Structure 1
Amino acid sequence: MKMIKQGLGPVLFLFFLFVEYGLCGDIVHDDDIAPKQPGCENKFVLVKVQTWVNNVKADEYVGVSARFGTPMESKEKDANKSRLVLAKPYDSCTSLSEKLTGDAALVHRGNCTFTTKAKIAQEAGAVAVLVVNDREELYKMVCASNETTLDIRIPAVMLPNTAGTTLKQNLERGAAVGVVIYSPDRPLVDIAEVFLWLMAVSTILCASFWSAWSAREVANEHYKSLKDDLDSFVVEESSGDKGVVDINTTSAILFVVIASCFLVLIYKCMSEWFLELLVVIFCIGGVEGLQTCLVALLSRWFTRVGRLYICIPFFGAVSALTLAVLPFCITFAVVWAVYRRISFAWIGQDILGITLIITVLQIVRLPNVKVSTVLLSCAFLYDIFWVFVSPKLFSESVMIVVARGDRSGEDGIPMLLKIPRLYDPWGGYSIIGFGDILLPGLLIAFALRYDWAAKKSLQGGYFLWSMIGYGFGLFITYVALNLMDGNGQPALLYIVPCTLGTVLSLGFWRDELSNLWSKGEPQMACPHVPKVGS
């Protein structure tokens, strides 16, 4: 318990740095108000552009299709290989000086509408038009409001600036460039989402049982001391468990306010150097979480070493087992930080993240359902605001930008769990923010402690049903994510009603809501000690 109390600061600091998860590509521009009419009502899909330079297979680029034009093949083998030609003029706003029969046209964005570029390229005989954006983001190409029925029979694709610049340079130096344009379908369910669901559920299960087991051990130690010496009752009762922090209503509201401030700070300061700072903070919390979990496990096997303490200046009495595992934990975190950009570094990030979450759920506790309702309700509104409302104030979703790690040169900030999408042709990661596990986990851990203290059966308690509610809420999140074409979703929008709503409904139906609301965990009766005053 010594190291838990000493490491409480950095661990709780990490608690404020949770983020929402979301799956989204680098596609910008809100087109909800863009007109949709015959010939301009396609869905936006990601497109792969495989290139050949002088008959040698070269880079593959990712673009986005337009609202207009014909759809593309879903398999590379079914798509036709076309010669890429630089449009003259390059903006394709006036008739092209050369015929492009059977060729794909490379044009630059600007000076006229996207549909004008596509029409002129089509009239010149092009079989496809690739529009080079002036930025790295992929802009959605829509139709103008004054355009009537369109008859564009070639596919149109927007490419990021670097991809278009490379292709243009190859063409200008006389290289023969060929392209194959296709749009592979994503699997309905990716195995990464299944494993991430299992990871989140298993983390809450482990943390909840550890929290309940620790509470039972503390109660048993109190009962044993009371049995041996009744005079120690007042001392033990007043000392409490100093390794645990109970959240009250004020701190629950303050938590969401501070979390919002941190989120805006990360959004405004997002850069490579700031991400390095977040990595350092994450490693500090990860070391604390990893060593706490390892010490808890090893102390069950090496009981004699676990009881041995060494006095260290400033830190006081520290477990010898803690000193033994600490070098390994520090080395693990440092190695991950140095090699975090390699393909399998997500494993180390998930290990550090899971142990950190379990440690926080062991330290931070909800005393009753009243505080749980305040905390989760505020988090519910927090998620909705920063995902759906923030674009109206910041021109983009702050939560999604932070989770994605835009402007940082990385795939995302480290305060999340992730698994690579192995069977997705577009690659990437399925991710979930710490807050989507931590906040519901606090309620579920409270439910298990309550059930054990009240001696409730599994079906007659609240833990099983809140756990089922969490799993179902996370499942609904993934369903919504897929229905929304991968646009980021606030997970707590679905998880909070399924967990908190379940506990409140069951408490009301069982006529136990008043006890849950105010009293929280019932006091276990001690059979060995008479009541004070009897």
Structure 2
Amino acid sequence: MRDPVVLLFGTLLVRQVLGEHGMAHFSDKDKNKGKDYCIFFNSQWARLPQDLNKASRLQIHDLTGSVLCSSSEVPEGGFTNRVPMVLRGNCTFYEKVRLAQINGAKGLLIVSKEKLTPPAGNKTQYEEIDIPVALLSYSDMLDISKTFGKGGQVAMYAPNEPVLDYNMVIIFLMAVGTVAVGSYWAGSRDINKRYMKHKRDDGAEKQEEETVDVTPIMICVFVVMCCSMLVLLYYFYDQLVYVIIGIFCLAASIGLYSCLCPLVRRIPFGKCRIPENSLPYCHKRPQVRMLLLSVFCVSVSVVWGVFRNEDQWAWMLQDALGIAFCLYMLKTIRLPTFKACTLLLVVLFVYDVFFVFITPRFTKSGESIMVEVAAGPSNSSTHEKLPMVLKVPRLNSSPLALCDRPFSLLGFGDILVPGLLVAYCHRFDIVMHSSQVYFVACTIAYGIGLLITFVALAMMQTGQPALLYLVPCTLLTSLAVALWRRELHMFWTGSGFVKDVPQPPVALAPINCTQTPEQPSEEALSNPELQHAAVSNQTEDPPPLQEAAPPKDAGSPSE
């Protein structure tokens, strides 16, 4: 499936209708040690200060054995100048906070085992209540009890979060760099495959992987599979997430092998082959260096699979495997015409917008299916995340990083889909000798589209489908370049433009001449200098690549 975008850029504060993330700073009586915990509060009940130093430190009253839904659960003496901490229960938030306020509480912490949702009420209730009320996760409550016991203090505050995080720069560089390198590699490899077949050696291992030309039928099947897999993940996330993780490990190891293979072939060691055997892969007797490379790539994927939830360093391994996978896909999958590029990008454009903006109308929670699947459902028992993203941890020091948003994410689909168009542009440049104008323009357009996505995300404060901005930028830019160069028909169909490429000179023999081009004349045989010239002409190197045009009936730059 194609994972979303920047959809889930965890660096931004995604505000819901009535809820905001804040912090609850717990400390002991002596204030020697303190720790922040994420809370979810409603600013319409009461606003919180932005600075911890301006927040009131109040005594916690641990009442987590009660839900505080009736006055009988209020202890003797009430909650004077304290903050009760109670379980969620079945009564409304208003009933809880009203009981707490009339009994002298200065705030209320509600412990929830479910997803943190903003405590809501009507306008009259908001005007009646003037103490802050916030939700705290059950796991944080257990840690608080273990760390601070029954006599801790709490100060609730809501710090401002930076609109953008510096890790967006790293995400941007990784995405644009992967598209540029993968597309350039795909175009160069395709041309080398067409014109340099006679230079291949070292048997089957020296040959490159086969490419796959995408047809309209394949595009339709692919989109249907994407929709089906996304819906299945929405309903059966806990069962299918491990399937996706396994597929990623396999695909990432293949991609890493493909990327490192050209480098390993330059190593002068390990060229000997393994002995005869009947093993599934080794019966072809691969070189030792290739076999060791295979073991290394599989080992890297296995290490990531085992330690994938180690937030300190596993993200770097995931990004490396993800980039290798994207490079492999860009040089393996090939769009033969601009018509196919347009069809693929437009269909996925509609797919992205539909599952982000339209599906909230049909879900019970009001969340889009795309966001819910990419972030991992809140009710998931596995707490696993889909790996088909590039991720970079937050680089700012905002304490709101604790609120389950420690990473910025970018889905592979937002690299691969526009990247296939950029790769087509590079192949077209090479065949038309256009000094890479299509390739450079489309790569720049991709970078601009990604920047527009970041800006839209910052301004709208909600998840955005990146293809909403990437598809128009890349498609319209490449179309404008084709119009400017008056090559739209050739660029659109992917065929016919090779007819205008200069053909190499062809030597024709006279009509009634009995002498063939391979037979030198008697004068040449008798003259040593002419004889040497004839031999030189016969052993001359083939014409350079730019003059060796393909036959006129060649269908497209990708064939």
Contact 1:67 1:142 in 2 (8 A): no
Q: 1:467-516 deviations in whole A, cap 9, x for unaligned?
A: 1111111112222222333x322111111111112222333454432222
State how far apart, in whole Å, the 2-side matches of 1:532 and 1:210 are.
24
Q: Judging changes above 3 Å, is the alpha-carbon distance between structure 1 residues 328 and 507 closer, same or farther for their aligned structure 2 residues?
A: same
Contact 1:368 1:519 in 2 (8 A): yes
**Could you tell which deviates more after superposition, 175-184 or 506-515?**
506-515
Displacement, 1:310? Answer: 9.2
- In structure 2, the residue matched to 1:153 is 130
- In structure 2, the residue matched to 1:359 is 328
Q: Judging changes above 3 Å, is the alpha-carbon distance between structure 1 residues 438 and 57 closer, same or farther for their aligned structure 2 residues?
A: same
- In structure 2, the residue matched to 1:12 is none
Q: 1:283-311 deviations in whole A, cap 9, x for unaligned?
A: 11111111111112333x34897898998
Pair 1:138-2:116 in alignment: yes
Q: 1:303-333 deviations in whole A, cap 9, x for unaligned?
A: 8978989987655474654223112112212
Contact 2:46 2:132 in 1 (8 A): yes
**Could you tell which deviates more after superposition, 156-165 or 254-263?**
156-165
Pair 1:258-2:221 in alignment: no
State how far apart, in whole Å, the 2-side matches of 1:521 and 1:305 are.
46
Q: Which amino acid aligns with 2:133?
A: A
Q: 1:321-364 deviations in whole A, cap 9, x for unaligned?
A: 42231121122122222222221111111111100110010000
Displacement, 1:119? Answer: 4.0
Which of residues 102, 109, 115 is equivalent to 1:123?
A: 102
- In structure 1, the residue matched to 2:162 is 187
- In structure 2, the residue matched to 1:444 is 422
Secondary structure class of the residue paired with 2:129: coil
Larger Rg: 2
Q: Judging changes above 3 Å, is the alpha-carbon distance between structure 1 residues 319 and 293 closer, same or farther for their aligned structure 2 residues?
A: farther
State how far apart, in whole Å, the 1-side matches of 2:399 and 2:248 are.
31
- In structure 1, the residue matched to 2:373 is 402
Q: Judging changes above 3 Å, is the alpha-carbon distance between structure 1 residues 103 and 507 closer, same or farther for their aligned structure 2 residues?
A: same
Q: Judging changes above 3 Å, is the alpha-carbon distance between structure 1 residues 154 and 263 closer, same or farther for their aligned structure 2 residues?
A: same
State how far apart, in whole Å, the 2-side matches of 1:410 and 1:525 are.
60
Displacement, 1:190? Answer: 0.9
Displacement, 1:78? Answer: 3.0
Q: Judging changes above 3 Å, is the alpha-carbon distance between structure 1 residues 306 and 192 closer, same or farther for their aligned structure 2 residues?
A: farther
Secondary structure class of the residue paired with 1:388: helix
Contact 2:62 2:84 in 1 (8 A): yes
- In structure 2, the residue matched to 1:421 is 394
Pair 1:22-2:7 in alignment: yes
Note the residue ranges of structure 1 that are not aligned, 5 or more in a row: 1-15, 33-42, 226-239
Q: 1:401-450 deviations in whole A, cap 9, x for unaligned?
A: 22123315345111111011121433311011110101010001111111
Secondary structure class of the residue paired with 2:490: helix
Pair 1:288-2:262 in alignment: no
State how far apart, in whole Å, the 1-side matches of 2:21 and 2:160 are.
9
- In structure 1, the residue matched to 2:546 is none
Q: Judging changes above 3 Å, is the alpha-carbon distance between structure 1 residues 114 and 216 closer, same or farther for their aligned structure 2 residues?
A: same
Displacement, 1:152? Answer: 3.3
State the TM-score, normalized to the length of structure 1.
0.80
Pair 1:506-2:484 in alignment: no
Secondary structure class of the residue paired with 1:159: strand
1:99-498 paired onto structure 2 within 5 Å: 99-109=78-88, 112-133=91-112, 135-144=113-122, 147=124, 150-164=127-141, 175-221=150-196, 243-271=210-238, 274-299=240-265, 301-302=266-267, 315=281, 316=284, 318=286, 321-342=289-310, 343-395=312-364, 396-406=367-377, 407=380, 409-410=382-383, 412-423=385-396, 424-427=398-401, 428-458=406-436, 461-485=437-461, 487-498=462-473
Displacement, 1:456? Answer: 0.9
Q: Judging changes above 3 Å, is the alpha-carbon distance between structure 1 residues 435 and 317 closer, same or farther for their aligned structure 2 residues?
A: farther
**Could you tell which deviates more after superposition, 436-445 or 178-187?**
178-187
Q: Judging changes above 3 Å, is the alpha-carbon distance between structure 1 residues 426 and 378 closer, same or farther for their aligned structure 2 residues?
A: same
Displacement, 1:51? Answer: 2.1
Secondary structure class of the residue paired with 1:175: coil
**Could you tell which deviates more after superposition, 104-113 or 71-80?**
104-113
State how far apart, in whole Å, the 2-side matches of 1:454 and 1:310 are.
47
State the TM-score, normalized to the length of structure 2.
0.77
Aligned residues: 483
Displacement, 1:54? Answer: 6.2
Q: Which amino acid aligns with 2:306?
A: V
Q: Which amino acid aligns with 1:476?
A: I
Q: Which amino acid aligns with 1:141?
A: P
Q: Judging changes above 3 Å, is the alpha-carbon distance between structure 1 residues 170 and 333 closer, same or farther for their aligned structure 2 residues?
A: closer
Q: Judging changes above 3 Å, is the alpha-carbon distance between structure 1 residues 44 and 276 closer, same or farther for their aligned structure 2 residues?
A: same
Contact 2:67 2:89 in 1 (8 A): no
Contact 1:436 1:492 in 2 (8 A): yes
Q: Judging changes above 3 Å, is the alpha-carbon distance between structure 1 residues 435 and 31 closer, same or farther for their aligned structure 2 residues?
A: closer
Q: Judging changes above 3 Å, is the alpha-carbon distance between structure 1 residues 170 and 521 closer, same or farther for their aligned structure 2 residues?
A: farther
State how far apart, in whole Å, the 1-side matches of 2:329 and 2:419 are.
10
Secondary structure class of the residue paired with 2:409: strand
Q: 1:230-255 deviations in whole A, cap 9, x for unaligned?
A: xxxxxxxxxx9971111111111211
Q: Judging changes above 3 Å, is the alpha-carbon distance between structure 1 residues 337 and 86 closer, same or farther for their aligned structure 2 residues?
A: closer
State how far apart, in whole Å, the 2-side matches of 1:370 and 1:143 are.
53
State how far apart, in whole Å, the 1-side matches of 2:277 and 2:359 are.
48
Contact 2:304 2:314 in 1 (8 A): yes
Q: Judging changes above 3 Å, is the alpha-carbon distance between structure 1 residues 392 and 24 closer, same or farther for their aligned structure 2 residues?
A: farther
Q: CA RMSD, aligned part only? A: 3.6
State how far apart, in whole Å, the 1-side matches of 2:108 and 2:189 are.
64
